[in-house]
Amino acid sequence: MVRADPGVAFAFVVGGAAHGIVRWSWQLHEPGTGCVVEQTWQLLRIDPVLGSSLTDIEALRDHMADSAESTLLALAEWIADHRASPC
């Protein structure tokens, strides 16, 4: 975990903070009722586990973008089941 601010943001780096490959971050905003969650990821370095070409990296990026909605919907479900406040 590289950031943990309850109700505000959290982030972690796959591969560890010192030698990580990808940084995942979530920001939480309360624009009124409900909660807006922003998910981002940043490629920190090229690693064979990600693929061996630019095409592989682009395919991974596209897959991650496509899966973001599922991740955020699951997070919203978990919050609804476990917390009284939206963020």
**Strand-pair category, 9-14 with 22-29:** antiparallel
Structure confidence at residue 54 (pLDDT)? 87
The structural domain count of the chain equals: 1
Half-sphere exposure (Cβ direction) of 76: Cα atoms closer than 13 Å:
13
What tens digit of pLDDT does each residue of 13-27 get? 988 888 899 898 999
Domain-embedded: residue 59: yes
**Boundaries of domain holding 18:** 3-82
Task: Indicate whether 50 pLDDT > 60.
Answer: yes
Task: Indicate whether 75 pLDDT > 90.
Answer: no
Structure confidence at residue 84 (pLDDT)? 61
Please report where in the chains the tokens 């693929």 appear, as a residue. 51
Q: What is the mean pLDDT of residues 35-56?
A: 86
Domain-embedded: residue 22: yes
DSSP calls for 39-63: EEEEE-S--GGG-SSHHHHHHHHHH
**Among residues of the chain, what percentage have pLDDT more than 90?**
17
Domain-embedded: residue 87: no
